[in-house]
Structure 1
Amino acid sequence: MSWMSRHFWNIKNWHWVSSAICLIGLLLFAATGITLNHAADIESEPQIASIENLVPASLLRQLKPSRQLPQTFYSWYKETTGMALSDSALIQWEQNELYVASPRPGGDRWFTVALDTGEFYQEATDRGTLAYLNDLHKGRNTGPAWRWFIDIFSAACVVFSLTGLWLLKRYAKGRKSTWPLVIAGLLIPVAFLLYPAHAEADELKITLPRIKVAEYHAPYVAVWLADDKAKRVKDIAVWYDTQMENQKGEKWLKDLRLWWRRSGRSAELPIDGVSGATRRPGTSTVDLDGTFDNLPAGNYVLYVEAARELGGREVLSVPLTLPVTTASTEKAQGKNEITTIELKTEPHS
């Protein structure tokens, strides 16, 4: 057997080479595994930048439903925003609106064009380095090159694990604890999987509809808890335009009429841990961990109110009894500004 053949079939060589290839990747994935597991506990303030403009009438006439936008629009977009528009951007045509999304790791960018008026609005969000690394962990919006890396890295991890198992078998005779530890490595994660999922996890899901109108503004939303006499107990979330200069976004909170009467007019804005940016259409989750702690036993009502500029207003509510003794899910269906709200509660030990 030649020198090259001996080294090729040497398990130790495969083990140390695969470990060298995996080292940095394993550290990255291990660290981001921890941050993903505790994402709700790590505070982060996304940076949001918006641009408003008008698409020239001559260019607006060229915008017709298709998979690609005209090259003249790409040039106008770069000149207007200072950013290039990728050919892989997600393009959606609505009745009177063009919607284009360019998601990326750790952030996203989207814009709309009102096809009847030419109004252009773009929002770019940067959620920071930690969100960027977390998205790399998930392979979210990363492109084909990173997906190839994950495949190669995963294959190297498999080689590293199997050669490690082979080496354990080879040297197990002198180490009595080898196989008990290997079996423990199998049984421990199984035991955690069998443990009830989402124990003691309280959350509220709010689904906002995508409304087909020429001029769409993300709704302001307020979430608060009231007692059985409708008296406000505590604010949970208030979403509004926090990026407007000189806190001008607070001016329109009065449109949340019910919340404003119960709480808003006497609140000092922004409310720490409660105020946040508006959400786009889709489902958003409000983490309620610890929200109901130390509240007296009794019957409560959780309210969600949404109001949209140039749109309507809607209030939904679901009942809540404290302390929570059994896992439950309460839902309410909206008609206009809110699609649904869903409150999930679990008994706390």
Structure 2
Amino acid sequence: MVTDRGLQVLRAIVQDFVDTREPVGSKAIVERHAFGVSAATIRNDMALLEDEELIAAPHTSSGRIPTDKGYRVFVDHLAEVRPLSPAQRSAISAFLDGPGDLDDVLVRTVRALTQLTGQVAIVQYPSFARATISHVELVQLGGGRMLVILVTDTGRVSQRLAFVRDEFDDDDLARVRTDVATLLVGRPVREGAQRVEERLARQDAVQSPQDVATEAIVRVLAEELEEFRHDRLVMAGAANLARSESDFRGSIYPLLEAIEEQVTLMKLMSEMVADDHGLAASIGRENEPFGLGEASVVASEYDATGARARVGLLGPTRMDYPTNFAAVRAVARYLTRMLDEDESAR
């Protein structure tokens, strides 16, 4: 059973180890923190923490470092997440303010987070499976190329090229546009995907140029709607892992592989259990089923017009958890507010 002072000693060890990268001894704790007790008393508290496997000696020195279990207890007993400084908030605002579609906003979000924290930043796309298709636009680019623009009510905008062979006058283009819009606009993504599949399955053998163009456009839309139904991540800051490589006992290759493939991180992010404030952490050995036993992930939830997703940070277990929690929480709140304002402005 860890006493209140024992938790305070654990907090001091975590904070000092994160700051210095050096094992923390009782003398250093007495000098740096106002406990009002002797170094011998602190050594007794440290012995109890070691019995509970919350701290460990990395070698024969008297210093101790937190274990994964110790980091977990530290995170679970955070009294509060300290707010970001005005300068940090200004940095977030500078990155995220300004017009842009959802793709652009999420790219700016991960760039802001990784610059703010020095960790790998991760943002989940909201689930678009329940989104509704609000607009389809077609723009002729010449050479038989058609730009197909698809917009959902959650703010997602996609653009793809379709090759339609022919050029159309305004009337014929309007007919193609109406045909595609009738098929999709006002319908949920799931239903839209089903309708385009059915449309492609019943194409006639003999077709007009407009029908050929519509089929090419519908095929492109079918591919895009299929992507809408799958989870996606946006990430930035992988180079930060190389800078903190000494914090990993083994290779950073599993982390780089997870970043490249995304599937592992999507599963991990989805399974993390959030607290009452929407904050979640998965630390060290808790990530072994995902092959990331030497890494930690902290995350906060954001809302995109009813579709919830997460903003997170990936890094070594020796990370500044309070600051990283504050960063993901602040960015998540800012992102929610931006998306809500963008939806209200439509």
Instruction: State whether TM-score is above 0.5.
Output: no
Structure with the larger strand share: 1
- TM-score, normalized by length of structure 1? 0.20
- TM-score, normalized by length of structure 2? 0.20
